[in-house]
Structure 1
Amino acid sequence: MANLHVMSGAGDKLDMPIIRTISTADLFTALRRGAADFWEKPSHYVLLILIYPIVGIVLAMWMNGYHTWSLLYPLIGGFALVGPIAALPLYEVSRRREKGLETTWGEAMNVLRSPAIGSIIALGIMLLVLFTLWLTSAQALYENLFGSSPPNTFNGLLAQIFNEPGGMTLLLGGSLLGGVYALIVLCTTVIAFPLLLDRDVGAYVAVETSIRAVLRNPIPMLAWGLIVGLSVFVGSLLLFVGLAVVLPILGHATWHLYRLLVEPASHIRQAPTA
């Protein structure tokens, strides 16, 4: 029964949220609201936002020490893949601010006590599996083109990409491969985590709702994925320090995107039971 709850939610019938049609202009509305949430009380998230540049610096040092520079690009892209997990407290801050509730750091971490935490963990595991598959695929592509001996320095990686025959193949092939994984994550989780915080609908409905949102709004949702990807890339420059601002704003904005995409809980259609 616990596993069933994780997959289908707490109710006797599936809560099937109603999806709205949005435009690309709504994406910028979500971003503005996300930025407003971030700047309202940024001191509350200092500990959270420092995680991103610290992790980035540690990864850079790790790659420099163990000569794994070939994974630099996949690791940067991985921030976008696993970002929804790290953004959970940010969704909670936006949710509480929307309701006029306290938005302290302690209150934000109450997300760990969410009734839907089982479903959230299940989706988090899915994202971690996708992240692992992405790194494995990227490494396999590199080794197929250049062998199993990666460059010792970042400059060595750049020389391989721009001077050796397989460099452009690695760059273009890796980007295409990463785009496939990013599209899978976008379709399955673009609003899944905010939905689970708002309603305990279960992992299945959360994923299904995200897929319906993308299918109903393909252009805005693809544009959102592009915004996220480019923002993460820009934020990763200068030792990932920009991620301390970029990712929190994107996290808050995702909550507001969810609000724009999904009808409130009072507008529910239930799937018929067998």
Structure 2
Amino acid sequence: MVKTIGNPLSWIAHVVTETGHTAETVTGNLGSRASGPPKVNTIGLDAIGHALRLGLDDFAAFRTDVVFLVAIYPVIGILLALMAFDMALLPLFFPVAAGFALVGPVAGIGLYEMSRRRAAGEPARWGLALGALRAHVVGPVMVLGLYLLALFTLWMFAANAIYISTLGPEAPESIRGFLGDVLTTPQGWAMIGLGMSVGFLFALVVLITSLVSFPMLTDRRVGIPVAVATSLRVARANPVTVLTWGLIVAVSLAVAAIPMFVGLIIVMPLLGHATWHLYRSAVTFED
């Protein structure tokens, strides 16, 4: 049969219709299809060790695949280092680097899917993991991702305001002079204290709202309200365990960032896989 070029208006109408169906599917999956909220378990510090061991086991099994998924982070680190040569942006170098922790849960989506597939005995290559962003996942994840991006943006504004109120508003004249002002002046120590305090609050909000919400959305069609509410319930039921996990994540990311962020190639997948197993320990579904 001879193929002919169709009517352009018909083609455009078809594309618009399909796009509308896709958007409708994505939007429809923002809500919950679960029959009821899951059960939240009480977990101790031993659950963290268990999750890290299973996460390390997953990392060993998917070593090549997960390195591919997170190799972008050292590139971002190099760009941040180059940014430091712009004196006007130098005061924001550390806040941007620390801000990785605020958007990290989004980067773990593929890792959660790989751990889920491995536990279920299914193929778990990186290509299949990227397929985790199907209709019932991509909508909720995009919304939560925008929420984390908004928090990251607010953190940048807060960090800049702290610098202006302490060492600013003028840009540093050199890296050495800036470090000297930060570490040897009362204004510099005030900036450190305020920055760490405000940064802790931002990190805490991200921790308690996203600890299990992102892996849960990858696992089940629970919807954003149920996922976030469950994450809050987990934090309320296990405050010591959740805060300890947050401290482990923060210290691990800080150490991994020291060698030009290259350490993130190992730390990010390990934490991502471990987060999945921590979620599975903290949350139980009745079905």
TM-score, normalised by the number of residues in structure 2: 0.87
Alignment of 1:1-274 (within 5 A): 5-10=28-33, 15-65=36-86, 67-266=88-287
Q: Residue 265 of structure 2 aligns to a residue in which SS?
A: helix
Structure with larger RCO (C-alpha < 8 A, sep 6+): 1
Distance 1:113 1:20 in 2: 29
**Which ranges of structure 1 fall in alignment gaps of 5 or more residues?**
267-274
Q: Residue type of the partner of 2:31?
A: S
C-alpha change, 1:200 and 1:233, in structure 2 (3 Å) is: same
**Does the 8 A contact of 1:31 with 1:253 survive in 2?**
yes
**Does the 8 A contact of 1:187 with 1:211 survive in 2?**
yes
Distance 2:189 2:98 in 1: 18
Q: Residue 132 of structure 2 aligns to a residue in which SS?
A: helix
C-alpha change, 1:246 and 1:226, in structure 2 (3 Å) is: same
The worse-fitting range, judged by mean Cα deviation, of 60-69 and 26-35 is: 60-69
Q: How far apart are 1:149 and its partner, in Å?
A: 2.3
Q: Residue 37 of structure 2 aligns to a residue in which SS?
A: strand
How many equivalent residue pairs?
A: 264
TM-score, normalised by the number of residues in structure 1: 0.91
**Does the 8 A contact of 1:56 with 1:239 survive in 2?**
yes
C-alpha change, 1:92 and 1:3, in structure 2 (3 Å) is: closer
Give me the identity figure in percent: 41
**Which ranges of structure 2 fall in alignment gaps of 5 or more residues?**
1-23
In the other structure, the counterpart of 2:15 is none
**Does the 8 A contact of 2:39 with 2:283 survive in 1?**
yes
Distance 2:187 2:99 in 1: 23
Q: Residue 200 of structure 1 aligns to a residue in which SS?
A: coil
**Does the 8 A contact of 1:67 with 1:153 survive in 2?**
no
